[in-house]
Amino acid sequence: MATDTNKFQAIISHCKEYGFIFQSSEIYDGLSAVYDYGQWGSELKKNIRDYWWKSMTQMHENIVGIDAAIFMHPTTWKASGHVDNFSDPMIDNKDSNKRYRVDHLIEAHADLLEKEGKKAEADALLASMDALLAKDDLAGLKTLIEDSKIKCTVSGTANWTDVRQFNLMFSTQLGSVSDEASEIYLRPETAQGIFVNFLNVQKTGRMKIPFGIAQIGKAFRNEIVARQFVFRMREFEQMEMQFFVRPGTEDQWYEYWKAERLKWHLSLGIPAERYRYHDHVKLAHYAKAACDIEYEFPIGFKEVEGIHSRGDFDLSQHQLYSKKKLQYFDNEINQNYVPYVIETSIGLDRTILLVLSEAYTEEDLSTPEKQDSRVVLKFPPKLAPIKLAVLPLLKKDGLPEIARQIMDTCKPHFYCFYEEKDAIGKRYRRMDAIGTPFCITVDHQTKEDNTVTIRYRDSMQQERIPINKILEIVQKQIN
RNA sequence: GCGGAAAUAGCUCAUUUGGUAGAGCGAUAGCUUCCCAAGCUAUAGGUGGCGGGUUCGAGCCCCGUUUUCCGCUCCA
């Protein structure tokens, strides 16, 4: 796997130095795996978000968007399987690095004792375990494991970590009185907000299968290991679409969305060889088929987006737990059924890292006379935080006034940036560093014939254009 | 979570065995400048991640902690 650690480090530094991404709460030493988007990072994020949203909703007549709350009824997560799969105390063996569920480990040891004819000892052990589990006494559980001399079956040692409660979901209290009943979770995925609103949207939108519901929003996972910059964060943003189809047609729709989503990535102008599909062999509890779209980051091929065929798992589960019918009457076949679901789920933060990785370029511009280089972010113009910089060549002779007029004309249409400080070359380079695709320079000739030079970021070429063509030229490139 | 490495100015890094911190780039202000990091002048930025300890004295040694990166592990 080709990796380029130096490039990854350089991108992280660049992101901080030029106002894209900062570590959260940095003045307090930061918070692990939590990041803030700065002035240009937030623009970039918004542009990517908007591009996805538009391509999903506006461009598909049968897909609509929603914006569900982060807080959801606690039963949601019982139905989805999130509570049961992630609430058991675990312990790791330090030598084999194997992780065990504490109850499984102790029960296995009790079985062993029983086979050795020590039934009383085994029963006592299980009784102690149940008492400790009931009290959530994790330290007590570890002591129990150590006192019983329970060994790892792989390493054969009793070199254990502390017992820890693994729950990927963050919990908090709803209401000011904290008791068991009011505990709720921050959603670990946005998908459930779509499933619980399936009927609302289908009925009020008069949606006919096949149709989709899209959503963009924050999700929270208390990852054990969260690393690699914004690639894996504890608070992150997902862009998801659940596509509801007639049972029996799910395979063709799965293939359709697999292809369709890759097309979206390629529409950003990113070379196809940077992407690959990774089909899952081992499937999650809900999945019938699943694949990832992986992008070749500087740290290797990594998942950016998942396409999953979820069957009727989610809607059926919610139907079971809520006791509300979540079905669709299909006029074409005259049948009621729980629709099958194809999910496309892309990480917004990962997409930002993808776009940054693709855009980040160090160029050597040296000539025999002079050493020269630049760092340029070659964003697709439609994603660039700033679309146009307006630069008077000199800050005198009335040039700033003309530049200001151009600013006023363009500002309402796209993000513009005005700058008169420093030599023109330096200003160009500064714009390169934050990925501004176009620079307009006002010079003395402008006063005579109302033309300016437009300088292109990637080629560094310039051409002379009339002032009244600026809007048209830039807008053509960013749409 | 295990193991490894690291943390000094916005960035990249110095500070040779412990003696109260510097550079380049960048930034800000001004002068100059007719198209690619130019030049000149001035200015601002660090209780050396944080907390203890050893010492007459710690950026440097020791312990803890936080954060980051790498490998393994995990990843609905």
Q: Identify whether residues A202 and A276 lie together within a single domain.
A: yes
Residues A406 and A329 in one domain: no
Is the pLDDT at A84 greater than 80? The verdict is: no
Q: How far is the CA of A391 from the C1' of B26 (A)?
A: 20
pLDDT above 70: residue A329: yes
Nucleotide nearest to A191 (CA to C1'): B76
In this structure, the answer to whether residues A209 and A308 fall within a common structural domain is yes
Mean of pLDDT over chain A: 88
Same domain assignment for residues A307 and A257: yes
A413 inside domain: yes
Summarised one tens digit per residue, pLDDT across range A2-31 is 356 678 888 888 998 899 999 888 888 888
Check whether residue A222 and residue A343 sit in a common domain: yes
Based on the fold, state whether residues A418 and A348 are members of the same structural domain: no
DSSP A3: -
Residue A154 Cβ < 7 Å to strand B:
no
For the segment 261-320 of chain A, residues whose CB is within 7 A of strand B: 284-286, 299, 306, 308
Q: Give the CATH number for residue A446.
A: 3.40.50.800
Is A425 part of any domain?
A: yes
What's the CA–C1' distance between A350 and B69, in Å?
A: 18
- Asked if A478 and A382 touch (Cβ cutoff 8 Å), the reply is yes
pLDDT in tens, A390-438: 999 998 889 999 999 999 999 999 999 999 988 999 999 999 999 999 9
Domain count, chain A: 2
Q: How confident is the model at residue A85 (pLDDT cuts 50, 70, 90)?
A: low
Query: Does the residue A101 lie in any domain?
Result: no
Instruction: Give the domain-ending residue among A313, A334, A356.
Output: A356
Distance A243 CA to B71 C1' (A): 39
Structural domain for A258, as ranges: 7-68+188-356
Nucleotides of strand B lying closer than 7 angstroms to a protein CB:
1-3, 10-12, 26-30, 33-39, 49-50, 66-76
Same domain, A336 and A394: no
Q: Is the CB of A96 under 7 A from strand B?
A: no
Average pLDDT over residues A384-390: 96
Count of Cβ atoms closer than 10 Å to residue A159 Cβ: 12
DSSP A20: S
Q: Classify residue A229: in a domain, yes or no.
A: yes
Q: How far is the CA of A17 from the C1' of B55 (A)?
A: 39
Same domain, A351 and A420: no
- Separation between the CA of A20 and the C1’ of B24 (whole angstroms): 24
- According to the per-residue pLDDT averaged within each range, which of A75-89, A118-132, A282-296, A445-459 is highest? A445-459
A99: pLDDT strictly greater than 90: no
Nucleotide nearest A30, CA–C1', reads B67
Domain CATH for A208:
3.30.930.10
Check whether residue A422 and residue A465 sit in a common domain.
yes
Whether nucleic acid strand B comes within 7 Å of the CB of A82, the answer is yes
In chain A, residues 393 through 412 whose Cβ sits under 7 angstroms from any atom of nucleic acid strand B: 393-396
Task: Give the ipTM of the model, two decimals please.
Answer: 0.88
Q: Which carries the bigger pLDDT value, residue A434 or residue A160?
A: A434
Is residue A116, in this structure, part of any structural domain at all?
no
At residue A98 the predicted structure's pLDDT band, cuts being 50, 70 and 90, is low
A337 and A391 share a domain? Answer: no
Give the per-residue pLDDT at A2.
39
A380 touches strand B (CB under 7 A): no
- A197: in domain: yes
Query: Domain check: are A420 and A341 in the same one?
Result: no
Q: Is the pLDDT of residue A273 over 80?
A: yes
Strand partners, A347: A238
Domain end residue (candidates: A356, A375, A410): A356
Report yes or no on A241 lying in a domain.
yes
- Please report which confidence band the pLDDT of residue A244 belongs to, taking 50, 70 and 90 as the band edges: very high
What pLDDT is stored for residue A443 in this prediction?
A: 93
Q: How confident is the model at residue A107 (pLDDT cuts 50, 70, 90)?
A: confident
Instruction: Give the tens place of pLDDT for each residue, A183-218.
Output: 889 999 999 999 999 999 999 999 999 999 999 999
pLDDT band at A182 (very low <50, low <70, confident <90, very high): confident
Q: Is residue A214 part of a domain?
A: yes
Indicate whether A392 and A317 sit together in one domain: no
